[in-house]
Amino acid sequence: MTSRTKTTGSLLPGDRNKNKHFLHPKSGTTWLSEILDAIYHDGNLEKCQRDAIYNRVPFLEMKIPGILSGVEQLEKTPSPRLVKTHLPVHLLPASFQEKDCKVIYMARNAKDVVVSYYYFYQMAKIHPDPGTLSEFLQAFMDGKVAYGSWYKHVKGWWEKRHEKRLLYLFYEDMKKDPWGEVQKILQFLDKEVADEMVARILHHTSFKEMKKNPTSNYETMPTTLMDHSLSPFMRKGMCGDWANHFTVAQNECFDRHYQQHMAGSDLCFQMEA
Ligand code: A3P
């Protein structure tokens, strides 16, 4: 589903108080989309099944020939609407701030992102063949993957984390304490949701439930776009899977590169399971 980044000139009319969520690809975008859709529908899980997640939460910069673009979808979506995007902060259209949109950014540790991205490149036909994992690791470190440098993406948004209308979250925290993280989201959105409803939302958005839910798991995408026989979209949904893929040499090389590119930043990630 990812495509090369494109900025839109401005937001669509009526976007004030709308909720955007930004993530580098493979960092829990679909998970967060499902949580937000459930929150915005007051935990009515039947309503959450009304369509596939990529139609319920349009993807701003998505443009594939023969399919409604993200902007066209958004034009048809009534307010209040949720918008998914992977844009890095420097490509954020000024209108996002002008229209007072709330933004939730979720970051995930680089090693798990690269493994998840590697499998996604194989199954999502919009991407070229990623080659071997070694080749893909090099491309990732060089920023030669869709959306460019992961380092710039997570650090760029991290620098903005104190802005009032931005909430910066971590995939690993959401895994460890989904209840606590959803409370942060609710507070940020000024929403009050009963504990019982939060419990239902968390069950509905658990990896196990989303994996078997055709409106969440992308299995309704044409196989010409996503081939789940090569890798399911909902693959493992865990922290630390990179350790099952990186060789010792690859890990050392990645760590050296990582330290250079994250030097001076106080942004820290949990890498282990
Ligand atoms: P893996 O490939 O490591 O399994 P995105 O939606 O940004 O493309 O991110 C996809 C990643 O998020 C995949 O990671 C997917 O399995 C994981 N994911 C999706 N829903 C999840 C959930 N409910 N819990 C944990 N991980 C989830």
CA 142 to chain centre: 21
pLDDT in tens, 216-238: 999 999 999 999 999 999 999 99
Question: 216 CB under 6 A from ligand 1?
Answer: no
Q: Is 101 helix (H, G, I), strand (E, B) or coil?
A: coil
Burial 120-136 (b: 16+ CB within 10 A, else e): bbebbbebeebeebeeb
Q: What is the pLDDT of residue 74?
A: 92
Sequence spans of domains, the chain: 6-262
Choosing from 21, 86, 153, 204, which is the catalytic residue? 86
86 is catalytic: yes
For the CA of 24, the nearest atom of ligand 1: 7
**Superfamily the domain 6-262 falls into:** P-loop containing nucleotide triphosphate hydrolases (3.40.50.300)
CA of 98 to the centre of ligand 1 (A): 31
Torsion angle of C-alpha atoms 75, 126, 33, 94, degrees rounded to 10: -50
111 close to 30: Cβ distance less than 8 angstroms:
no
Task: Kindly report, residue by residue over 22-48, the tens digit of the pLDDT.
Answer: 677 999 999 999 999 999 999 999 999
Residue 109 alpha carbon to ligand 1 centre in Å: 12
Question: Does the beta carbon of 27 sit less than 6 angstroms from any atom of ligand 1?
Answer: yes
Distances (CA, A) of 70 to 23, 58, 150, 153, 211: 16, 5, 23, 21, 24
**Any ligand 1 atom below 6 A from CB of 110:** no
Best of 207, 208, 246 to mutate for ligand 1, by most ligand atoms within 8 A of CB? 207
pTM for this prediction: 0.93
The tens place of each residue's pLDDT in the chain, 273 residues long, gives 222 222 223 344 344 446 666 677 999 999 999 999 999 999 999 999 999 999 999 999 999 888 899 999 999 998 889 999 999 999 988 888 888 899 999 999 999 999 999 999 999 999 999 999 999 999 999 999 999 999 999 999 999 999 999 999 999 999 999 999 999 999 999 999 999 999 999 999 999 999 999 999 999 999 999 999 999 999 999 999 999 999 999 999 999 999 999 999 999 999 998
Q: Which of 235, 242, 271 has the most ligand 1 atoms within 8 A of CB, as the residue to mutate?
A: 235
Which amino acid does the sequence have at 175? K
Tallying the residues shown for the chain, one arrives at 273
**HEC assignment per residue over 248-273:** HHHHHHHHHHHHHHHCCCCCCCCCCC
Helical packing angle, 248-262 and 150-158, nearest 10°: 40
3-state DSSP helix/strand/coil % of the chain, to nearest 5: 45, 10, 50
Decide: helix, strand or coil at residue 193: coil
